[in-house]
Amino acid sequence: MFADWRPPPPTYLLVEAPPGRPAASNLCPGEPLNLEQLTQALVNALPDYATRALPQTPTPRYVLVAGRPETQPLPLDGVPPGDLAGTQQVFLTTLERIYPDGLYATYTQHYHWIFLAPAPQGWTLRQVLTRSSPYPGPGPLGPLWDTTNRTYGLALAAWLRDCGLSGP
């Protein structure tokens, strides 16, 4: 009788930003930025933008936090350097909460290599590459995949566009 019970889908009404999170109006820096400033603003905005970009599925998923930003290029196996010539690399991580059975949460950490090219009006998103692993604790690191046209790439492109920071 209760084995098939599922909680009702959540309803959201966001009146103000949760404690510790910036209000929506503060998610856009309002002017073209250098890479470090852009990265800090991106870390604040990405969880909300990525959660909205997640596909609507029966399995609820939420991006909780973005962090560990790094603007010094990090090694990336399997990607020829010539493919991303003229870009600047941002590395950051996100933590995602997933409810596979609708009741209990599991967590996944994603590792993102974001490649941006400077443009006259801001930045152009060239590519987003992602790997993931279970969180917390050690677990197998998943394969590298191109997420430019998936959740994280779409979220980044939307944020750049909404903030007026995207180039042609």
Predicted confidence at residue 23, as pLDDT, reads: 46
Under 8 Å between Cβ of 11 and 64: no
Q: Domain span at residue 60? A: 25-75+83-162
Task: Look at residue 121 in the predicted model and tell me its pLDDT.
Answer: 80
Q: What is the pLDDT of residues 137-149, one digit of tens each?
A: 777 888 889 999 9
Residue 18 lies in a domain: no
At 70, list the tokens.
């790094």
Residue 156 is predicted with a pLDDT of 93
pLDDT of residue 32: 58
Q: How many domains does the chain fold into?
A: 1
Q: Is residue 108 part of a domain?
A: yes
Q: Are 151 and 110 in contact (CB under 8 A)?
A: no
Does the residue 16 lie in any domain?
A: no
- Residue 99: half-sphere exposure toward Cβ, Cα within 13 Å: 15
Regions of the chain with pLDDT less than 50: 1-3, 6-25
CA distance 27 to 78: 33
Greatest Cα pair distance, the chain, in angstroms, is 62
Q: What angle do CA 45, 106, 153 make, to 5 degrees?
A: 35
* Residue tagged 């909404």 (tokens): 162
Q: How far apart are CA 20 and CA 69, in angstroms?
A: 18
Q: Is the separation of the CB atoms in 114 and 90 below 8 Å?
A: yes
97, part of any domain: yes
Structure tokens at 22: 């910036």
Residue 27 neighbours by CB distance under 10 Å: 19
| Residue 9 counted as domain residue | no
Residue 74 pLDDT: 78
For 130, list phi and psi in degrees, rounded to 5. Answer: -135, 145
pLDDT at residue 15, rounded to an integer:
34
